[in-house]
Amino acid sequence: MANTDEVAIERRRGDAGWWRQATVYQIYPRSFADANGDGVGDLEGILSRIDHLDQLGVDAVWLSPFYPSALADGGYDVDDYRDVSPELGDLATFDRLVTALHERGIKVIVDIVPNHSSNRHRLFQDALAAAPGSPERDRYLFRDGTGPRGAEPPSDWNSFFGGPAWTRVPDGQWYLHLFTAEQPDWNWHHPDVRADFLRTLRFWGDRGVDGFRVDVAHLLAKDLPAELPSWAELTRGTDPADPAPPRYPAGHHPLWDRDELDEIYAQWRAVFDSYSPPLTAVAEAWVPAERRVRYASKQNLGQAFTFDLLETPWDAGSFHQIIRDNLALAAKSGTSSTWVFSNHDVVRHATRFGLPKGMSGRRWLLEGADPALEDRVTGLRRARAATLLAMALPGSMYLYQGEELGLPEVGDIPADRRQDPTYFRSKGTDLGRDGARVALPWTSTGVSFGFGGCAPPLPQPTWFADFSVERQRDDPASTLSFYRHALRLRRELIQDETLEWLNLGPDLVGFRRGGGWTAVTNFGSRPRPLPAGDVLLLSGEPLDAPGLLPADTTAWLRRDSLRS
C-alpha cells in the first residue's frame, strides 16, 4: 500500500459520509490507458495505472460508461446496463478493478444512463419487432406521425445535439430521442423500466460499487400530452437571455425537471440505503440552481453537480458569488457542494482560462481554435489557481483525467477524425467534445505516448510529449507534483465543513477553514499582500518578495501560532 495511510483508508471505507469532501477522479475509459494495444482504452489499462491514481491521492474514481455500446455517443448509448463492453474487458476484470481500487482505499463510482438506452438494447429491439400500440413499444416513447400518411414527425422538437428529436421506424411510427437517434428515450411511466433500473443499481451495488453518477438526471420523467406543444413553447423563457415568462411552471415541464422525479429517486434511495455504508449518487442535472436542491437532497440522489464554474470567467466577483450561493444551496438540502472545472463534455479549463476575455471555449473551437488566441501560460496558471481554490472549499472536488497534467484542449482534430455526434448532428455548428477526450500521454515518446500499442483514433498532438506523466513525475514544479501535493495536504488539513470569508479587497477571494488554515486567490494582474501566516502551498511560482501573492495565484496558509 504505497503512499497511503492505512488508518485513513479504514476511516474512509467505513464512513457513510466519505463522499462529502471526497476528491473524485473521472476516468473516460476509452482514452485513459490501453492495455492490449488495440487503440481503445480498457479496464486492464486502468488496472495497470492504479499507482498513478494512488499517488495522486484521490478518494474515488468515477468511470464513464464502459458498457457494451456501438459508441454513437461515446458509450452513453448503452446496449446492456449490466455488462462490460468486450472491447474494454469483462465482468471478471471489472471485479478485479474494484478490488484493486478498494485495496488502495479508492472508492468506485459508475455512470448510470437512465434517460435513454441504445437502439441496440434488447428491449428497444423488442419494441421494434412488436406492433405499434404493443406493450413492448410502450417502454419507449413511440408516436404516430403527422401530415399525410404520418410522414411528418409528431412534433417539431429538436434533439440536444442538433437535428430532429424524432426518428421514424419502418412501420411508420416515430420514437423520441432527446440525443442521437441511436439513443431512444425510455418511458419512465412504465413499471418495467423502473424495475429494470432498480435491478441495475443492485447489480453494481452487489459487485462492490460505492456510488453512481446519474446521467442527465433531470430528464427521465416525461408527460407527453395528446396535443404536443411546439419546441418554441417548450423552450420559452428557459434561456437566461429570453425575457419571456416560461410556458410551464417549475416541476411541470413536459420533458424535463419534473416533480415526479422525486418519486423515482426515492425508490433509488431505498436501494442505496440498503447497503452499508449507503451507496452514493451525484446528479448531472442541468437545472436552475434553486431546483438543484431537490436532486441533492437526502431523500433523493444526495448530491448534484455544480456546473456554475464551467463557464465562469476568471473574475473574483463571479467566483465569490458562485461559491457563496452554492454553499448556501448545499446547506439547504443537507448535502455538500461539488466543484467541477473540467469533464468529458467541456473544453478543458487550462485552455478556457487562457482565452481572451468573453470568448467561450466552444466559440474558440468553432472559430478555428487559433493558437494565437490561447495563452497557455496564463491558462495553466489560472487553472492551477482555480483548482487550488476549489480544493480548499467545503464539498467534493471532481477532477477530470488529464487535468492533473495541466492538459490543454486539443483544438485541431481534423474533421474526418472527429467522433462526437454533436459535431455531425449540428452540421459542424458545434465542434463537439472530442478535444477533451484525446488519449492521455503517459510517456513523452512512442506512437501513442505510452497510452497503448498503436495510435488512438483521436489523434494526439506532438506537444502532448511536454505534458506526459513521465515528463512531470519527478519534477517538483510540474502540475502533476502540484496536484499530488495539494491533494495530500487537503486530506491532512480538512477537519470540518466550516468556512469563514475574509474581506481582503478587490481581486482577492479568501476564506478561513476550520482548524485554522486559510486559502487566498489573487484574480488580479498585480501582486497583492498575503494575509499573515506560513505559506503551505502556492499554485504557481513564488515571487522574490516575501509576503506578496503573485497575480493569478492561490496560496494556502496556516496561521503561525507563535506569531499570532
Q: Pick from 42, 111, 374, 434 the residue near Ca ion by CB under 5 A.
A: 42
Instruction: State which of residues 19, 25, 76, 424 lies at the interface with ligand GLC (CB under 6 A).
Output: 76
Residues 341-360 binding ligand GLC (CB under 6 A) are 344-345
What is the smallest separation between the CB atom of 101 and ligand GLC, expressed in angstroms?
Answer: 22
Cβ of residue 31: shortest distance to Ca ion, in angstroms? 11
User: Contact with Ca ion (CB under 5 A): which of 32, 34, 413, 469?
Assistant: 34
Q: Which residue is nearest to ligand GLC (CB)?
A: 76
Kindly tell me the burial class for residue 220, based on how many C-beta atoms sit within 10 Å of its own C-beta (0-12, 13-18, 19 or more). Answer: buried
Q: How far is the CB of 459 from ligand GLC (least distance, A)?
A: 21
CB atoms within 10 A of CB 453: 13
**C-alpha span between 375 and 215 (Å, rounded):** 33
Asked if 282 interacts with ligand GLC (CB under 6 A), we say no
Residue 168, beta-bridge partner list: 174
What distance, in Å, lies between the first and last C-alpha atoms of the chain?
39
Which residue lies nearer to Ca ion by CB, 42 or 409?
Answer: 42
Q: Which residues pair with 112 in a beta bridge?
A: 214
CB of 74 to ligand GLC, least distance (A): 6
Q: What are 363's three cell numbers?
A: 466559440
Contact yes or no for 247/233 (Cβ under 8 A): yes
Establish if 113 lies at the interface with ligand GLC (CB under 6 A): yes
Work out which of 36, 146, 299, 443 binds Ca ion, going by CB under 5 A: 36
305 makes contact with ligand GLC (CB under 6 A): no
* 38 contact choice in Ca ion, ligand GLC, none (CB below 5 to 8 Å, kind-dependent): Ca ion
Tell me how crowded residue 426 is: count the other CB atoms within 10 A of its CB. 17
Q: Is residue 73 part of the contact set for ligand GLC (CB under 6 A)?
A: yes
Sign of dihedral through CA atoms 88, 94, 96, 97? positive
| Identity at 543, one-letter amino acid code | L
By CB under 6 A, residue 72 contacts ligand GLC: no
Applying CB under 6 A, the site for ligand GLC has a residue count of 9
Q: Which does 127 bind (CB under 5 to 8 A by kind): Ca ion, ligand GLC, none?
A: none
Q: Could you tell me whether strands 280-283 and 142-143 are parallel, antiparallel, or unpaired per DSSP bridges?
A: unpaired
Q: Minimum distance from CB of 419 to ligand GLC (Å)?
A: 12
Using DSSP, state whether 340 is helix, strand or coil.
strand
Told to check if 284 binds Ca ion by CB under 5 A, we report: no
Based on the shown chain and the rule CB under 6 A, indicate whether residue 216 belongs to the binding site for ligand GLC: yes
262 vs 264: CA distance, rounded Å: 5
- Sole binder of Ca ion in the list 5, 10, 15, 38 (CB under 5 A): 38
Out of 166, 179, 248, 511, the only residue in the binding site for ligand GLC (CB under 6 A) is 179
**Range 326-329, long-range pairs (CB < 8 A, 24+ positions):** 326/289, 326/395, 327/393, 327/394, 327/395, 327/499, 329/289, 329/290, 329/292, 329/293, 329/296
Selection from Ca ion, ligand GLC, none that 42 binds (CB < 5 to 8 A by kind) is: Ca ion
* The one segment of 40-48, 114-122, 156-164, 441-449 that binds Ca ion by CB under 5 A: 40-48
Dist CA 21 CA 515 (whole Å): 15
Closest distance to ligand GLC from the beta carbon of 179 (Å): 5
Q: Pick the closer one to ligand GLC by CB: 69 or 553.
A: 69
Count of residues of this chain found to bind Ca ion when the rule CB under 5 A is applied: 5
Cβ atoms of residues 45 and 35 within 8 Å: yes
Q: Going residue by residue from 224 to 263, which x/- string records binding to ligand GLC, judged by CB under 6 A?
A: ----------------------------------------
210 near Ca ion (CB under 5 A): no
d(CA 485, CA 9) in angstroms, rounded, equals 18
| Cβ atoms 361, 347 nearer than 8 A | yes
Question: Which is nearest to 60 in space by CA: 11, 7, 12, 8?
Answer: 12
| 40 vs 355 by CB, closer to Ca ion | 40
Q: Does 83 bind ligand GLC (CB under 6 A)?
A: no
* Residue 212 lies near ligand GLC (rule: CB under 6 A): no
The residue among 107, 157, 160, 117 whose CA lies nearest residue 139 is 117
Per-residue contact flags (x/-) with ligand GLC for residues 320 to 339, judged by CB under 6 A: --------------------
Interhelix angle for 289-296 vs 261-273, to 10°? 40
Cα dihedral across residues 237, 240, 243, 245: positive or negative: positive
Q: Which of 42, 59, 210, 215 binds ligand GLC (CB under 6 A)?
A: 215
552, interface contact from Ca ion, ligand GLC, none, CB < 5-8 Å by kind:
none
Give the residues lining the site for ligand GLC (CB under 6 A). Answer: 73, 76, 113, 179, 215-216, 284, 344-345
